[in-house]
Amino acid sequence: MSAVWERFPQGGSLLLTALAIADHASDDGTRVYPAVDALAIKTRQSGRTIQRQLRELEAMGWLLLVRESSGKPGDTRDYRICPQWIRGETLPTVVATGDNLSPLQTGDKSEPEQAGRVTPEVGTGDTAMSPKPSITIKSEEQPSKAARGRAKARAHHPHTLPPGIPAEPWERWLEMRAEKKAWLTEGAFDLAISTLARLKGEGHSPADVLNQSTLCNWTGLFHVKPSFNRGTVGGNAAAVAEFVAQIEREHGEVEA
């Protein structure tokens, strides 16, 4: 961590995040896999700011991605700090090549090829019909409405779920909230997780709590009602309507 204080090339909040990452790393700069939420808490910043800073640290070559997250709850990306930098050397020059960032090898005196530059072959004489190459754009298959809804929900809720919260019911609930434009703030995410933990302690399965709210189009999370039956209600519109009507008769209209 002392090397970060002495030699990190930038300051401000990016330096603060680099210090937090170095605090998680081994002495050789490996085994860096803190959760975004953990870095946000440690640096007193938002999760979105941490995600932006991680991309910035990768772009400057100080932080190297070793392994992508599997997407499973609790699994995070695995990084390492640039080994040349840890040895006291300067950061390697990073050249953008498509979607990847590749360090320019030492001793390479040639100019890096400009990313995305294409020199089309143009015929000469009578064969040159047009000085501009033609481009054919193929339309890609559009994702389904459900896939778009899940993608929108993930974009607005880039949180890491703690163990014990099922990912699929959680994503369906977020998708329903996304359709209502009821995005979870950082504070609302913490409250939702604590509510699920409390209800689980009272004997209510987190999956049933989430499925009940999704089924009834509720943005909140509540005790599982005795009349809720996944086998009977699921996929049956009439049963869903009767279930919601029964809850309203028993408990009054529930605020969605």
Are 47 and 40 in contact by the 8 Å Cβ rule? The answer is yes
User: How many domains does the chain divide into?
Assistant: 2
Question: Which of 203, 215, 201 lies closest to 172, judged by CA?
Answer: 215
Residues 97 and 156 in one domain: no
Helix (H) or strand (E) holding 44, with range, is none
Asked whether the predicted pLDDT for residue 166 surpasses 60, the reply is: yes
List the CATH number of the domain containing 82.
Answer: 1.10.10.10
User: How much is the mean pLDDT over the chain?
Assistant: 74
Which of 103, 125, 156 corresponds to the end of one domain?
A: 103
60-101 pLDDT per residue, tens: 898 998 888 888 887 788 899 998 888 888 887 654 444 444
pTM: 0.37
Which residues touch 108 (CB under 8 Å, ≥6 apart)?
none
Residues 166 and 217 in one domain: yes
Radius of gyration of the chain (CA): 26
In percent, the amount of the chain with pLDDT more than 70 equals 62
Asked if residue 223 belongs to a domain, the reply is yes
126-153 pLDDT per residue, tens: 444 445 554 554 445 555 655 565 565 5
Asked if residue 204 belongs to a domain, the reply is yes
Strand ranges (DSSP E) for the chain? 63-67, 78-81, 94-97, 100-103
As a residue count, the chain comes to: 256
Asked if residue 111 belongs to a domain, the reply is no
Give me the domain span that covers residue 158.
145-251
Residues 78 and 168 in one domain: no
Count the neighbouring beta carbons within 10 Å of the beta carbon of residue 47: 19
Q: Looking at per-residue confidence, does 136 or 37 come out higher?
A: 37
* Average pLDDT estimate for 236-249: 62
Q: Please, what is the angle between helix 167-179 and helix 145-156, to 10°? A: 90
Residues 95 and 40 in one domain: yes
Asked if residue 120 belongs to a domain, the reply is no
Per-residue confidence (pLDDT) for residue 241, from 0 to 100: 65
Q: Looking at per-residue confidence, does 158 or 53 come out higher?
A: 53
Question: Which of 22, 13, 155, 131 lies closest to 86, judged by CA?
Answer: 22
Are 68 and 35 in contact by the 8 Å Cβ rule? The answer is no
CB-side exposure of 141: number of CA atoms within 13 Å? 3
CB-side exposure of 216: number of CA atoms within 13 Å? 28
Per-residue confidence (pLDDT) for residue 38, from 0 to 100: 87
